[in-house]
Structure 1
Amino acid sequence: MGGDADNVRYDPARGRVYVGYGEGALAVLSAAGERIGDVPVGGHPESFQLDGGKIYVNVPSRREVAVVDADKLKVTETWPVNDSSANFPMALDAARHRLFVATRRPQRLLVYDTVTGKLISNVEAGGDSDDIFYDVGRGRIYASFGEGSVFIYEQVDADHYRLAEKVPTAAGARTALFSPELGRLFVAAPSRGNHAAEVVVYQTGS
């Protein structure tokens, strides 16, 4: 497969596994682990999301989102992050056709219309963004930042988003996992000085 394997996604509809790796490709594997092919994206792929017949891929080195045809296994279009850069985390609201991308420079949350590829919203974000999650049931977005915070955004409607709360965490606590079934957000805080490493659990709703 090559080095620097990173994000992994499973496509149950096609029985495939996608792995972002190396200097710029998605490896496509069967569920049995057989190599099907590669999709060059022009730079190391960071977070990516599956949306039916499309795959949206963050490519920070190119300051863009690559849109991959999941059947043809090729990039069909690219969406620029405009004046932003370091677009690492990504989340998807498939029902409303909205893609969420956080950038580190400047610190913003970008919202794209996945039908048109147009940028429709641009909201304040925190420093050192690493993970974003969309909570379908509550219409919220949770974003974890290494500066030591989790931002909670409310989806007013498909085109409008409001920063509702900034929750303090710990310096370097940028890696997170959201469980919609449990209604919990798990945030990993690294060891710093006399503070031992830990996983902090936040309740996202009753």
Structure 2
Amino acid sequence: MKKLAVCIAVLIFACYAFSQDQPSAPKPAPMLLVQEIPLPNVGGRIDHFTFDGKRKRVIGAALGNNTVEVVDTFAGKDIHSIIGAANPQGLVYVGEFDRLFVANGTDGKLRIYDGDSFSLLNTVDIGEDADNVRYDPAGKRVYVAFGGDEEGSIAVIDAASGKRLEDVAKLDAHPESFQIATSKPVIYANIATKAKVVVIDRNTHKVTNWPLKSGKANYPMALDEADRRLFVVTRKPAQLVVLDSDSGATVASVPCVSDADDLYFDTGRKRIYIPGGEGFISVIEQTDPDHYQSIAKIPTTVGARTGLWYEKRDRLYLAVPASSKQGAALWVYAPQD
């Protein structure tokens, strides 16, 4: 009986030791590539995107191609190219007026198209290097960033009439990505060449400067308004910087993919997605408003640094520029819980 007890004890110990030696099952990736949509006639750099929710279309600025590409996400194909653009950079589709607003960097114009036929309806002079575009549904205003090395601004367009209104403020350089707050009348904007964020009061036009304590070349930006957090990515070094959106104080910083040009916040999963030209998507988790951790670097391809996060469809669309190895495409990712 004693020998039996000893044998059982040895067996239990051996099984435990064996289980400890076995590698644990790998965690599923937080994002999976589920579709590749070819962009057969697109060459060169691809910039920013917008979404036509009614028609289920992703619309992108093919900057290096001087076209705007319209992709049917249900059919999974590029269905139309809007020609005549001049280095299109930023764009926004406004469903309530069925209008597509496209900022063009070469001639500094905002081209306004019909959302169905894509016929050109109006052209508005904006200024040097017209770039990022946003829409404020409450005020029914379209905002367009523009400027150069020593001065810049954000133009305001009446979305219904297409007329240009008074600019929000004078800035000391070209604004890159910017976000419009809904809980208060302010705009947050990256001034990448000055390594700072500016806060613009839309009512008084007052500009407040928030110099970054570390990092420069801050291009992408996203806003978590519920938790009063502003997300900024710098390229030098490659990092996510989290700011308090009330005070500008630095809350956290996390290393991320290099050469980033877009940044998205998944409000449901509390995750931040950062595509970078290095060839990865950084996935950073918000544990709480003050704490963040990198949970994955999803391999993509070199040069893929822009796209669109469409939360209603729970999909991330990544722009893949043409190269010697592959044609241009729109890669579609599905987040995993």
TM range (shorter): over 0.9
How far the C-alpha of 1:187 sits from its partner, in A, is: 0.7
Question: Does residue 1:18 correspond to 2:132, yes or no?
Answer: no
What is the CA–CA distance in structure 2 between the aligned matches of 1:82 and 1:138, rounded to whole Å?
A: 28
Question: Does residue 1:54 correspond to 2:186, yes or no?
Answer: yes
Question: Does residue 1:163 correspond to 2:163, yes or no?
Answer: no
Q: Deviations over 1:45-64 (max 9, x none)?
A: 10000113110000011110
Output the TM-score relative to the length of structure 1.
0.96
Question: Does residue 1:70 correspond to 2:202, yes or no?
Answer: yes
How far the C-alpha of 1:71 sits from its partner, in A, is: 1.7
Greater mean alpha carbon deviation, residues 51-60 or residues 22-31: 22-31
More strand by share: 1
Task: Give 1:115's aligned residue.
Answer: 246
Which of 210, 230, 248 is the matching residue for 1:79? 210
What is the CA–CA distance in structure 1 between the aligned matches of 2:250 and 2:292, rounded to whole Å?
A: 13
What is the CA–CA distance in structure 1 between the aligned matches of 2:297 and 2:171, rounded to whole Å?
A: 34
Is 1:183–1:205's contact at 8 Å kept on the other side of the alignment? no
Gaps of 5+ in 1: none
What is the CA–CA distance in structure 2 between the aligned matches of 1:22 and 1:114, rounded to whole Å?
A: 24
What is the CA–CA distance in structure 1 between the aligned matches of 2:266 and 2:202, rounded to whole Å?
A: 25
More helix by share: 2
State the secondary structure of the residue aligned to 1:129.
coil
Task: Give 1:197's aligned residue.
Answer: 328
Question: Does residue 1:132 correspond to 2:132, yes or no?
Answer: no
Greater mean alpha carbon deviation, residues 119-128 or residues 15-24: 15-24
Which of 146, 153, 157 is the matching residue for 1:29? 157
How far the C-alpha of 1:37 sits from its partner, in A, is: 1.3
Q: Deviations over 1:135-184 (max 9, x none)?
A: 11111110000000001111100000110111000000001110101111
Is 1:129–1:143's contact at 8 Å kept on the other side of the alignment? yes
Counterpart of 2:239, as a letter, is: R
What is the CA–CA distance in structure 1 between the aligned matches of 2:204 and 2:157, rounded to whole Å?
A: 14
Instruction: State the identity as a percent.
Output: 45
Q: Deviations over 1:95-145 (max 9, x none)?
A: 000000000001110000011210110111111011100011111110000
Task: Give 1:92's aligned residue.
Answer: 223
Task: Give 1:146's aligned residue.
Answer: 277
Is 2:213–2:250's contact at 8 Å kept on the other side of the alignment? no
Q: How many equivalent pairs are there?
A: 205
What is the CA–CA distance in structure 1 between the aligned matches of 2:319 and 2:255, rounded to whole Å?
A: 23
What is the CA–CA distance in structure 1 between the aligned matches of 2:213 and 2:272, rounded to whole Å?
A: 22
How far the C-alpha of 1:73 sits from its partner, in A, is: 2.7
What is the CA–CA distance in structure 2 between the aligned matches of 1:90 and 1:83, rounded to whole Å?
A: 16
State the secondary structure of the residue aligned to 1:171.
coil
What is the CA–CA distance in structure 1 between the aligned matches of 2:297 and 2:223, rounded to whole Å?
A: 21
Q: Deviations over 1:29-85 (max 9, x none)?
A: 22222222122121111000011311000001111000000222331x111122311
State the secondary structure of the residue aligned to 2:204.
coil
For the pair shown, the structure with the greater C-alpha radius of gyration is: 2
Task: Give 1:175's aligned residue.
Answer: 306
Output the TM-score relative to the length of structure 2.
0.59
Which of 222, 236, 240 is the matching residue for 1:105? 236
Give the number of the structure with larger relative contact order, counting CA–CA contacts within 8 Å between residues 6 or more apart.
2
What is the CA–CA distance in structure 2 between the aligned matches of 1:179 and 1:205, rounded to whole Å?
A: 15
Counterpart of 2:133, as a letter, is: V
Gaps of 5+ in 2: 1-125
Counterpart of 1:182, as a letter, is: R
